[in-house]
Amino acid sequence: MTEPADEFSFLPEQAADAGLTGPLPRGERLQIDLADGRVVSGLRWWFDSPGDRPVVTFLHGAGLNAHTWDTTVIALGLPALAIDLPGHGDSSWRDDAAYVGRMLAPDVAAAMTAWTDRPQVLVGQSLGGLTAAAVAAARPDLVDRLVVIDITPGLDPNAGAAEIRRFFSGPTDWADRDELVDRAMAFGLGGGTREKAARGVYFNSRVRADGRVEWKHHFAHLAAAASAGDRPPGEGAGSDAVAAVLGEAGWEDLAAVRAPLQLIRGERGYVTAADVDVFRERVPAASVLTLAGGHNLQEDAPVALAAEVRRAAGKD
């Protein structure tokens, strides 16, 4: 694949793929240093002026990165922030591999404190949704409204993704990105075209000092270790009990949220009608909406999702 000029070079293609003809946003890469030496990275987007501060903050799901929101941001038309969760994108990996909402929330809150100047419409998908709930519960000053996409506590953010786990459990480094694109296409991943697969590979990989290409996110390396017989933290005996505890923690976080809360599920996503019934019972003040699409609504239905986020921001 031809290396792009920069990470924002794909925006015209992404807009064209979604049938969007309006102005494109401008973006910049941000980074904040944490006290323990790790970094959190993110993307800040604006349309009119670089001085326009974000009104919406996006958190992606497991195995993704901040660029998964690009088309949604284009359709949104509002200044926004998209954060790379720890272990993803350009944010540092966690030595303890503790990629759960309550563990990730303090890092996200630190980034939001540094990069925003007002309470946000906080939008989180899958693992990002559980993290967003933890942020809203612990730091209500940062959140004006909370939108959780296709996840409820107790559900595995990777549920139904056995093929993706097999995809990532292979080698973790490659001669070049073309090899990664070939693998994605062979697994039926990447959005259906080689161009889309190449975009996804570019955003989710990096070139090491030795010239080899490796996955950016920690999950691919954990999956490879597991397939080799080295269980990552949280795997094996007792994992069901751990999942139950984490699920209950997620419900506690949602119960503590004081901002208006909405669950948006994908019609073909992970949250079933039965899951919605439990959600309504445990979080009765929240609203629920279903959109046509799968688990990654920001990629399956970015325009429809952006319209809902605009409404949440009071811009409809």
Query: ∠ at Cα 260 (141, 153), nearest 5°?
Result: 95
Q: Count the alpha carbons within 13 Å of 307 in the hemisphere toward its beta carbon.
A: 6
Secondary structure class of 55 (helix, strand, coil)? coil
In 3-state terms, what secondary structure has residue 130? helix
Instruction: Locate the domains of the chain by residue range.
Output: 11-312
Residue whose pair of structure tokens reads 């949604």 in the numeric block: 72
Domain 11-312 has what CATH class? alpha beta
Angstrom distance (rounded) from CA 242 to CA 235: 10
Cα separation, 15 vs 38, whole angstroms:
33
Catalytic residues: 126, 150, 295
What Rg, from alpha-carbon coordinates, does the chain have? 18
Tell me how far CA of residue 242 lies from CA of 87, 95, 219, 313, in angstroms. Answer: 20, 19, 18, 35
For the record, the structure tokens of 56 come out as 């919406």
Greatest alpha-carbon pair distance for the chain in Å reads: 54
- Give, to the nearest 10 degrees, the angle between helix 239-256 and helix 101-115: 40
pTM: 0.92
For 60, phi then psi, to 5°, come to -85, 175
Strands of the sheet containing 173-174, edge to edge, are 173-174, 213-215, 205-207
Q: Are 283 and 255 in contact (CB under 8 A)?
A: yes
Q: What is the pLDDT along the chain (316 residues), one digit of tens a residue?
A: 566 768 999 999 999 999 999 999 999 999 999 999 999 999 999 999 989 999 999 999 988 999 999 999 999 999 999 999 999 999 999 999 999 999 999 999 999 999 999 999 999 999 999 999 999 999 999 999 999 999 999 886 665 556 566 777 777 788 999 998 888 888 776 666 888 888 888 898 999 999 999 888 898 888 777 766 555 444 433 445 555 666 889 999 999 999 999 999 999 999 999 999 999 999 999 999 999 999 999 999 999 999 999 999 999 7
Phi-psi region of 194 (alpha: psi -120 to 50; beta: other; left: phi over 0): alpha
Buried b (16+ CB within 10 A) or exposed e, 212-226: ebbbbbbbbbbbbbb
